[in-house]
Amino acid sequence: MTSLSAVHQGISRSGVVAAPYEQALFAELQMAVEFYERAPDALIQILHRAQELFGYLREDLVEYIAHELRLPISRVYGVIGFYSFFSRVPQGKHTINVCTGTACYVRGAETILRSIEKELGIQPGETTADGRYSLRCARCVGACGLAPVAMVGDHVHGHLRSSEIRKTLKAYK
């Protein structure tokens, strides 16, 4: 297990010094922690920032955040597990979040999800072999008026139809 000081210096779990670009990422995460004054209430925002910077919430980052916010690590993992937008495994280049909230569900979210699964050959929680797409389900992404909705990265795709899935995904190289 990596010591927290090692994490802070950008040293990977294997003990190898991280590439310079990763040290810069750690510095940015540290800035976020300081911006929120290490407030436990800012846990979700800091986890968001960590995932934005590193792509997923790996163990050393979780340890670091729990330590800085003086929270039990079990609490941090509990929050990560509760929210579907957090991931503990590496994600593909493009993350697709299919909304399965109530408004989307009644407007055919299941059909959209099945179409995407079929198109990509993966299930929610998985990543395509070429590392291009990860598929996840979300509860509500706040665009109920556009149901059924899927997000690809930060882009919202509303009023989705199964027949449009292939074309929609192809836009993301």
DSSP 19: P
Pick the closer one to ligand FES by CB: 76 or 147. 147
Structure tokens that stand for 127 in this block: 């990543």
Q: Is 10 or 158 the residue whose CB approaches ligand FES more closely?
A: 158
Sheet holding 155-157, edge to edge: 133-138, 94-99, 150-152, 155-157
| # residues contacting ligand FES (CB under 6 A) | 12
If we measure between CA atoms, which residue out of 76, 73, 46, 63 comes closest to residue 7? 63
Among 11, 57, 120, 147, binds ligand FES (CB under 6 A): 147
**Among 22, 67, 86, 75, residue whose Cα is nearest residue 13:** 22
Alpha carbon distance 81, 14 (integer Å): 25
Nearer to ligand FES, 18 or 140 (CB): 140
Q: Are 42 and 34 in contact (CB under 8 A)?
A: no
Site for ligand FES, residues 40 to 69, rule: CB under 6 A? none
Q: Looking at beta carbons only, is 33 or 141 nearer to ligand FES?
A: 141
141 is an interface residue for ligand FES by CB under 6 A = yes
Output the smallest distance, CB 112 to ligand FES, in A. Answer: 11
Binding site for ligand FES (CB under 6 A): 99, 101-104, 140-144, 147, 149
